[in-house]
Chains A and B, each alone.
Chain A
Amino acid sequence: SAVISQKPSRDICQRGTSLTIQCQVDSQVTMMFWYRQQPGQSLTLIATANQGSEATYESGFVIDKFPISRPNLTFSTLTVSNMSPEDSSIYLCSVVHRLNNYGYTFGSGTRLTVV
């Protein structure tokens, strides 16, 4: 299965600022996924990032707040914009392996605290 490098692993940010999270995959993948895990909660899909097209956002998430880039088949970024304390969460990227029965692999996560 693919290996995903995600950074930063954690950050403490001031409200009103933005943070960009990076995910690098060691193989080419068509789709990358970004998830949010709020404290004590399970994972919620933010958006699906396809190479060469705009990301597809889930209900409740908008591009202005969570802009995503996908410049090639091995890399994606998620930006959390104009942060507030409610954005404090773990953010995770993920890929799916069609040749491995559609199993998912996740990055190590970015633990974001907004103060």
Chain B
Amino acid sequence: KQEVTQIPAALSVPEGENLVLNCSFTDSAIYNLQWFRQDPGKGLTSLLLIQSSQREQTSGRLNASLDKSSGRSTLYIAASQPGDSATYLCAVLIPRMDSSYKLIFGSGTRLLVRP
């Protein structure tokens, strides 16, 4: 059974710091891994998607890496800003027996960037 774990559960940093969020998964048979951002009480915004054959993706100050063999992904946020404060969720897309697929989420990292 695929399990997705995110560490740390919460993080508080001063503005300007570079930071790394970690995600691990137990089964390397994934189609892709996606990082999302969720503001309190809101829906999810997709940040980055990494295909299983890829090693990393970049968008602005965000960089996500994927090491499928070890079951790990990291989200790197450069020069953090108070507007980055949110919960960050990683999710892996896995195959199912009926040829469909399912997105499995981690429990999230709650980030606070202090001015």
Contact = CB atoms under 8 A, between A and B. Distances in A.
B32 A103 contact: yes
Contact of B32 (A92, A101, A107): A101
Interface string A10-37: 1000000000000000000001010000
Contact of A102 (B36, B41, B44, B101): B101
Given A42-B108, A107-B43, A102 B89 contact: no
Contacts of B34: 103-104
A101 B103 contact: no
B41 A111 contact: yes
Contacts, number: 56
B46 interface: yes
B51 interface: yes
Interface residues of B, number: 23
Contacts of B49: 100-101, 103
Secondary structure at the B interface, as helix, strand, loop or mixed, is: strand
A44 B106 CA distance: 10
A68 B101 CA distance: 19
A45 B36 CA distance: 16
A57 interface: no
B103 A6 contact: no
Contacts of B46: 1, 103-106
14 contacts: A42-B89, A42-B108, A43-B89, A44-B105, A48-B100, A92-B43, A101-B32, A102-B101, A103-B32, A103-B49, A106-B45, A108-B42, A108-B43, A111-B41
Interface of B: 31-32, 34, 36, 41-46, 49, 51, 89, 91, 93, 100-103, 105-108
